[in-house]
Amino acid sequence: MIIPQEVRSVSLWQVALVLGVVYVAHKLLKSYRVRARSTPLAMPPRPSWFFGVSRLIINNPDASSMYEDWVQQFGSVFKIPAPLGGTRVILTDPKAIAHFYSVETWTYVQTKLSRVAIENLFGRGLLWAEGESHKRQRKAISPAFSNVAIRRLTSIFYDSVYKLKTNWDNQLASVDSALIDVETWMNHVSLDSIGIAGFSHDFGSLEGKRAAVAEVFDAMGRLKPSPITAIVILFGNALPILWRLPTETRKLQTKLNRAMEEIAVPLLENTRKEMRGLGEKGKEEKSIIGLLIKAEDTESSLQMSQEEIMAQMKVLILAGYETTSISLTWALIELSRKPEMQVRLREELKEQFPGSDPTWEQLTNGAGLHYLDAVVHEILRIHAPLAVTTRVAAKDDVIPLSQPLRLPNGELTDHIAVAEGQEVTVPIGYVNTARSVWGEDAREFRPERWLTPEGLPKKAQEVQGHRHLLTFVDGHRMCLGRGFALAEFKAVLGVLIKNYSFELPDGPETKIEYCRGVLPRPRVAGEKGACVPMRVRRVD
């Protein structure tokens, strides 16, 4: 083929320049369309066209305070500047949030970066799916998280925490106290529990075995932020291909994916053999994934592909390991900051169950463990593992408001219009701790607020979700595993507080900071990685 001279003379930078102009023009046209079909909302000044306010939020350990300031200035719904000249609508109005979650997976879907990241890390499972695919997968998985199924798993939580107890008792056999990194042990308990309960695999981390999955999670907690990772986070929605850059985080995520597949494939093969009569007989299948696979044939319309089942297994590991261990660690931190609350919880546990442990029914329905329930929900309120939900509108929408909102032009409105392509965020961490919702003591750890009906402000009771919290989100994507998580949280924390006392290394004033893992984790300031050493003593 003969290439004209004028074409051959075009340089690479000229091509790049043309493509850049086309891209900017496309972004401007899209931005104009969104603005033209959206309600004009108030917005803080844009500090940077490239970064918006993202750097301010990422670098601020108390992002909730920023949201609090913006709500006071602009009202319960407003916009913030996003990277590359974009904007993001922020919802803090309870009715608006309820509407958002009620139409999620249909009207509001994952952002481009989230879709690419989730598919690469987990595959096309429930976390990735939208619309009818999400509805089908969720319906197929739901029976594995029923009360009947979780009741059978409660003994696994106790088995794990008593393995921990055996180890700690050995360490304390000849000494009054020991300095123990409790976060590492909460990781071990959570990993072994989800391994057995989730898919009949014993990681053995409580017995000293090194699991590849745990090593990757630990390495993520020790990673230092890199400029490339920051670029991926900031600009990934506009350029999802950035996710494929070989960052250290990406390399670890690939390693995590490989490690999870090494566990998932043999389980699937063994379960399939058992279903065909070729595998091990005589044992009751209790694991979540095992029950899911066995239930496939009962309704062919709900049958999931092997790729989808593998994806659910990977999500189970992440959700069961990361979120539970983080919550347990925060519980021990807060109870060490308030020793009198630790004593009160221990007295309740010893009074109600002096020589035994509560059953699943007793953990779930109270049975006198009201303070345990209050502590658990207060931790979930002020330390939600996932701080935000961000989606993009798949079509134009009208969002209702619980109270009129004053727009920049002075008009009042009881709804806002959102255009297709607009990013929308629900700041979970802020709403869970907003003073305008929970009162002036919203940022304080105060379990007592859960002990009486009047303890929760009326505004908080307007928030939909589990116990008026957004920690498990709401609507079509409300966490299926919340019953599992709550049962494990209560069972493990109950055994620990009943048998041990905990003190932070420098007392209640010990500084705690966040470090990055798959999810943000706490650590004692000055420690390398996600480490929370505590002075642990046995109690009679």
Is the pLDDT at 517 greater than 50, yes or no?
yes
- For residue 83, the domain's CATH number is 3.30.43.20
Which residues lie closer than 8 Å to 90 by C-beta, 6 or more apart?
67, 70, 77, 78, 79, 80, 425, 427
pLDDT at residue 1, rounded to an integer? 47
Domain membership of residue 508 (yes or no) is no
Please report the pLDDT score of residue 300 as a whole number: 55
What pairing do the DSSP bridges indicate for beta strands 397-406 and 512-515? unpaired
pLDDT band at 140 (very low <50, low <70, confident <90, very high): confident
- Banded model confidence at residue 119, pLDDT cuts 50, 70, 90: confident
Q: Report which of 471, 518, 491, 490 is spatially closest to residue 314, judged by C-alpha positions.
A: 518
Alpha-carbon span 483 to 176, nearest angstrom: 37
Tell which phi-psi region holds residue 16, choosing left (phi > 0), alpha (psi between -120 and 50) or beta.
alpha
Which range in 53-67, 297-311, 335-349 is most confidently predicted, on average pLDDT?
335-349
* Domains identified in the chain, total number: 1
Three-state SS at 359: coil
Residue 141 has pLDDT above 70, yes or no: yes
Query: What angle separates helix 212-222 from helix 248-275, to the nearest 10 degrees?
Result: 160
Residue 187 placed within a domain: no
Handedness of CA 375, 381, 387, 389 (dihedral sign): positive
Domain assignment of residue 472, yes or no: no
The reply, when asked if residue 479 is annotated as ligand binding, is yes
Task: Give the confidence band of 427 by pLDDT, cuts at 50, 70, 90.
Answer: very high
Residue 20: the pLDDT is 66
**How high is the pLDDT of residue 436?**
93
Q: How confident is the model at residue 487 (pLDDT cuts 50, 70, 90)?
A: very high
pLDDT of residue 282: 47
Is 254 contained in some domain? no
77-81 β-sheet, strand order: 77-81, 87-91, 423-426, 389-393, 108-109
pLDDT digits (tens, 9 = 90+) for 431-453: 999 999 999 999 999 999 999 87
Category of 131 on φ-ψ map: left (φ > 0), alpha (ψ -120 to 50) or beta: left
Of 250-259, 341-350, 486-495, 528-537, minimum mean pLDDT range: 250-259
Is the CB of residue 449 less than 8 Å from the CB of residue 378?
yes
pLDDT at position 7, please? Answer: 44
172 part of a folded domain: no
What does residue 89 show for φ and ψ, rounded to 5 degrees?
-80, 130
Say if 417 falls within a structural domain.
yes
Assigned domain for 157 exists:
no
Q: Which two tokens stand for residue 290?
A: 């095992």
Residue 389 reports pLDDT greater than 50: yes
Q: Where residue 154 falls among pLDDT bands split at 50, 70, 90?
A: very high
Distance CA 430, CA 93 (A): 12
Say if 457 falls within a structural domain: no
Q: Report whether pLDDT(210) > 50.
A: yes
What is the structure's pLDDT at 250?
77
Distances in whole angstroms, Cα of residue 332 to Cα of each of 325, 329, 403, 482, 494: 11, 5, 38, 20, 11
70 pLDDT higher than 70: yes
Domain that holds residue 58: 11-111+387-439
Q: What is the pLDDT of residue 465?
A: 94
Is pLDDT above 50 for 87? Answer: yes
